[in-house]
Structure 1
């Protein structure tokens, strides 16, 4: 008797599973697991499925969306296997698609398993996806999770408002061989996760093979396939036909659009017509303004670096000098001797003239203050004798001339 009761219970459970119908609205999300490793919650796309089934056949529509950057509506067919609680749905055409910046979408095939926890019902599993215009171009794969809900984020389809039955007609039909194709889940492919910092791919907007699954907005790809006729979703006064989730609905933030980094435009090469950059000459100090700056010599050279040395010109009698270059102090109150006081001066096309001024800080024991200037300009050597007093300074002007002898 116990065995008979157990057998009847098992048969009853089997019949209940067989009779399970998935009619209604299922809402949740999908994401590419490798993209999720990089962007976390920002990589999750929202997904809604409105479907009806009678027995084995399943038909309906799907919505994939992510704020205002991406929205796609697709028609779908499917197969429900009661004994294994498995549902396979295949998006077969894109009915509406909005992608910021343009581009193609992707069509998903979802392999889901039904489970129930108390009063809550779930469909969970994986998905694969291909380009909506070329099914040989994959868009990626990932995870899908849906829960049965009572309301839609969009307009409810007629089969949701007035579900068809076997008696009223409209039963979904599975074409010969189609059921086996849909239920036969493809073997998982070994995929190498993208390196951190690379752009993972998600679902919808289709691009080259490296892009991830589903209708995710991407850079527009050249269209080589036929155009898809789209039918905009129905509009009502109470529900939006655009992908705006209802208040209270948890919405994952969109994956950050990799900013793409802009390539700097090449800058035009400098030409000889550009204005010359001349160094700003500081104001002259009082010792240069209050004394006469007597020009001793002008030296033209093609050398750009000058090494200038100062020696005492005669007996070492305690002469002390300061040296200025274009009003800038280079040497301050140093005594002349047989050891050189050396400074470096640079010449160039932008600022070709440099003035070097020797200032007598005292007259020593034998006036005036005299010095021997030796200039090394490349392979050239110049010797200049300078004399300075308390009323005048000794000025030597250097001029850059690329045509001068080196």
Structure 2
């Protein structure tokens, strides 16, 4: 969990690169997008000598973003957001955690915000990330005992697949209480690209329909009116992971029910899906990315 005991002695803190340049390349054979799972070790002074680690990596060009879960078990974990960059020439990945999103750990432990220095390798069909980490406590400027990381690319996550959400909507959702409604699955869309673009239009006459939209429980649109101009959502999908979009009707407009045309773009393919929500049921669409 990158948790450390709070009685570690003060040392010089900070994150530094090793001096190796990180190049931006136009061609790459590797695709780091997806779920990476394995172990993280920590030197003497940490709460535990060994943790499980899961990285949910969104990969675009040479840049990565995502979520890190390090955990002793699924009820005791630290969830972090991170950014980073991958050098396709040297197969080196540098990740820097930037925010503690959630911490369910013992009271005498503290989250440690880390920098990862990892190398990408393959053994047969198995993809691996391995290397070192170092970090500092999230609450004070002291160094955590560093350690090693060993990960493999997997298809199943131990935690819900996260979807990026603006901070303003995250704050709004924390105080929002939508009335529970039955969900009606309209369609399951299988795509061949991880980058998915969703555009929502009023289906037919513009009559004042407003909607709230969630993906995997994350609020991404709130009380937005459907018109002939699209309401747009972009998100990244992990292989073989299910994503559920729910369209919640805030009203029924002047011509019930609340209806929308959804245009889905993934790579060079486009899909049309027609949605209808009422005060009793919310329309749902599932997405699965299969490379």
TM-score of the superposed pair, with normalisation by structure 1 = 0.34
Larger Rg: 1
Greater helix percent: which structure?
A: 1
TM-score of the superposed pair, with normalisation by structure 2 = 0.46
Greater strand percent: which structure?
A: 2
Give the structure, 1 or 2, with the largest relative contact order (CA under 8 Å, sep 6 or more): 2
